[in-house]
Amino acid sequence: MAAPRVCVLRAPGTNCDVETAFAFDSCGGRADRVHLFRLIEQPTLLDDYQILCVPGGFSYGDDIGAGVVFSSQLRGHLGDVVQRFLVSDKLVLGICNGFQTLLKAGVLPDGADSWGKSDRSAADATLTWNDNGKYTARWVHLKVGGSDNIFLRGIEELDLPIAHAEGRLVPRNPQVVENWRAQHQIAIRYAPWAAGADGASHPLNDRWEPNPNGAVDEIAGLSDPSGRVLGLMPHPERFLFATQHPHWTRLKLEGNGAGRKLFQNGIDYFA
């Protein structure tokens, strides 16, 4: 079977597209870094891909808010082709700025059901400034559960790095979170690192709070109801190898990093 094709969609300011494409390629995919302007010129290019990934970075410099301009380009110029992609048996992944873009465009939280709605002022949730009011770059521990998302199959918990200023997920009201729970959409949560077998505290627990941005209900990632769309603030493409973890020697890590599994799951879906 031919390698699944991945469109890593970049825009002015995107800066994580190279390592994201490498992640998919190293898992057996065939990733192309496609500029947004090229896709706007020829929207049907997207029909040739099985996975769409919007990677991290600072699209359009976050000048009027993280992911805002990128999301408006998707809605305004690529509505029909994105709709076709969402209703097909295909996958969508948004990482950090990509998550912000998918949420503000309306791809998340409800996938094809929420895409194309003209009134985004009544959106169920937004990603806004961290509680600490500043850009934060560090590692977090994550618990996976509550969804059947394809990218997260076989993953229960993992460490990943974050790097964002607007990562605090805020729903419109508490009922929105209840609806997400009922539809199995809360895919990833921030959590404390587990103690060691000897009961000793994990070295990172003494340095950092588990929820780095104050996200409601500790939500770090959302799935659509179908399980084929995932958005998350942490960066799985930055933990493809054990040696990328800041405590890889102390924790005796070796081989692949935990982030690689997300990309492998996406590729394996089409095997």
**Active site residues per annotation:** 96, 235, 237
Q: How far apart are alpha carbons 166 and 205 in whole angstroms?
A: 23
Task: Tell me if 90 sits within 8 A of 125, measured CB to CB.
Answer: no
State the virtual CA torsion across 229, 235, 238, 243 in degrees, nearest 10. -110
Helices (H) and strands (E) in the chain, counts: 7, 11
Q: Beta strand pairing status for 91-95 and 51-54?
A: parallel
Phi, psi of 180 (to 5 degrees): -60, -40
Long-range CB pairs of 177-182 (<8 Å, 24+ gap) are 177/216, 177/217, 177/219, 179/124, 180/109, 180/222, 181/146
Residue 143 host element (H or E): strand 136-144
Q: How far apart are alpha carbons 59 and 217 in whole angstroms?
A: 27
Name the region of 121 (left: φ>0; alpha: ψ -120 to 50; beta: rest): alpha
**Torsion sign across C-alpha atoms 59, 65, 61, 20:** negative
